[in-house]
Chain A
Amino acid sequence: MAELIYKNVSKRFDDVEAVRELSLTVGDGEFVVLLGPTGAGKTTTLRLAAGLEVPEGGQVFLGGVDVTTVDPANRDVAFVFQQYSLYPHLTVFENMAFPLRAPGRKTDKATIKKRVTEVAEMLRIGHKLENKATQLSGGEMQRVSIGRALVRQPQVFLMDEPLSSLDAKLREDLRVELKRIQHEIGATVLYVTHDQLEAMTLADRIGVLNNGVLEQVGTPREIYEHPATIYAARRLGSPAINLLKPGQLGIKCSNGQTEQVGVRPEDVVISRDGKVNGKILTVENLGVETVSLVDVEGSHVHALLDRRLNLGVGDDVAVTAIAEKRCEFDKNGNAIELEVA
């Protein structure tokens, strides 16, 4: 396993700037997740690391070596594609053995058999090895894709939304498994997704990608609590952060540049007592928590409800916020450093 470094990497397609001046280090044995919506440049970023695209500017380093212009075959990375990664004309075994049979790798038959069987057992597809790749369910296909990457011991794993085509339950199972395996073999992983839950649960560190620009890199907690931009603030958390005008909910701002104030739903306090300033619009019981949309001072604000208050739609309530937990943003959407009280 090795370290993967992007240094000011840029890639454009005709008039689309898919990746702009991206710098990122994925440490040895680290699990980094790039989070961004469709078209943010996630796939392109991975393809740059694999050598499937050559950047116009910047460099890519793998294990300390500049590989910017090295062929994909000579980079020793493994790639799990979003779709279409299994060869329909081969069996599961042949699919998984395919990387080991590459001309440059010259693995002997016994080793191939051993490796493939081992990995297949680990991914619980051992009984499917003789099936044609097209006879598998979606979850099994994705396991085989991951298996194809695991049979080699590459420097870096690149994973392009490997779970996005699966249903929720399978996604959760595989997510847990993936994290366990990564931990077990100490793999360096760069994983991209548009799913914040995946990002939060898998990542050692998250990179928030917006239109080809890496807006913030940090641990899930750092980004959640101290987002660098409004964009990053809105990417994490469900329901999303509330964006308010300075002064709303009695929040005083530290300086005059503040354009918007972000308050997470769990930091909005709803109670029956106190000065009534809001009305409950909806109540959603999600089991673990109850989410409510409240109309307050002309804004709609998401809040977590204390179930014991027994509030219902149409009730008048007092809404305040835990002011210390707020984030402030200037007119460009960048966070303003708050003075520590």
Chain B
Amino acid sequence: MIRSAKMLKVGESSGLSKWIAGIIVTFYALVTVMPLLWIVATSFKSPPDSISYPPQIVFEPTLEGYVNLFTERSRQTDEYIEKLGPPETWYEEIVRERNMVVTGPSRFAGRYWNSIFIGFGSTFLAVVLGTMAAYGFSRFKVPLKDDLLFFILSTRMMPPIAVAIPIYLMYRELGLSDTALGMIILYTAVNVSLAVWLLKGFVDEIPREYEDAALIDGYSRFQAFIKVVLPQMKAGIAATAIFCLIFAWNEYAFALLLTSGNAQTAPPFIPAIIGEGGLDWPAVSAGTTLFLLPIVIVTVVLRNQLLRGITFGAVRK
């Protein structure tokens, strides 16, 4: 009797705490997701709707923001537009509504490509270098190992932008300003310290006996690394890659300072999209929405690895 009553109580309270936890999580999710939803919604508004007051929750969706993001346009007289005949494409049609014609593609696609190239390129390099350095630090007697590791970490102890001026001058001198190579080198340098530290933790977790066994079985150290160590580092590498990618992808200050034409990435470009009479908010939102996509996709694709990776040593031995 008593026991069953007690059990019921336990069940009840755990049900209640589940509800409370659920409500808190939902509330938190709403708070964090709201700005994102707002951005996505704005990207489908027309420019007047985007700045109307009070803000519109319900509106007629349009792709105008996306069209403006990808095109350069100029305003024309009615007579000129009439002479052109009917619009040939759907986006031409949207643009004509505002008495404009498309004069060519915008620079957005190029900036976006720069972001992809620089972001993924530097992530790849940081992870490759980080993996090898982490393996070396974990497995071999490296002179001054602890000092070196501390030194590597110490590069993260100040905000990277603190060294902006020396880097600016150095890059100008070396001809690396406004080049994709320069940005890749810069982001790799910043990320590699994080990568070494994170990945060393993962390598330390892998028992040496695995490699010893492979060595005895007739594999070289490098082959053992590829066949035995790498597969077991998958989760760690995925987690590290995401962290590196997020940093490189979102980096704003250096991109603003060091790039202008050629190698400019999306972050400094997007907020500066000017329409008639100031910022073109739907186009800015459309750019931001597209900018978020790759990180979302990568995170979703890697999420299983990521969950295992972020729990670090908690995986079964």
Contact = CB atoms under 8 A, between A and B. Distances in A.
Contacts of B209: 81, 83-85
A243 to B, nearest CB: 39
Interface SS majority for chain A? loop
Nearest to B209: A84
A103 B216 contact: no
B218 A104 contact: yes
B218 A99 contact: yes
Interface size classification for chain B: 10 to 19
Nearest to B232: A89
A119 to B, nearest CB: 14
A62 to B, nearest CB: 13
Given A83-B209, A84-B209, A89-B231, A78 B216 contact: yes
Contacts of A152: 217
Contacts of A102: 217-219
A102 B317 CA distance: 25
A134 B316 contact: yes
Nearest to B208: A84
Interface in A81-112: 81, 83-85, 87-89, 98-99, 102-105
B228 interface: yes
B212 interface: yes
B214 A98 contact: yes
A47 B215 CA distance: 12
A103 B207 contact: no
Chain B interface, >50% SS class: helix
Contacts of A105: 218
B236 to A, nearest CB: 13
A74 B217 CA distance: 9
B37 interface: no
Contacts of B216: 50-52, 72-73, 75, 77-79
Interface string B203-214: 000010110111
B223 interface: yes
Contact of B212 (A52, A75, A89, A103): A52
B223 A99 contact: no
A83 B232 contact: no
Contact of A79 (B207, B213, B219, B317): B213
B220 interface: yes
A102 B217 CA distance: 7
A73 B207 contact: no
Contact of B218 (A47, A89, A103): A103
Interface in B24-48: none
Nearest to B234: A89
Interface of B: 207, 209-210, 212-220, 223, 228, 231-232, 316-317
**Top 10 A-B pairs ranked by shortest CB distance?**
A102-B218, A99-B217, A84-B207, A72-B215, A84-B209, A89-B231, A72-B216, A73-B218, A79-B216, A104-B218
12 contacts: A51-B215, A71-B215, A73-B216, A73-B219, A77-B216, A79-B212, A79-B213, A79-B216, A84-B207, A85-B210, A87-B232, A103-B218
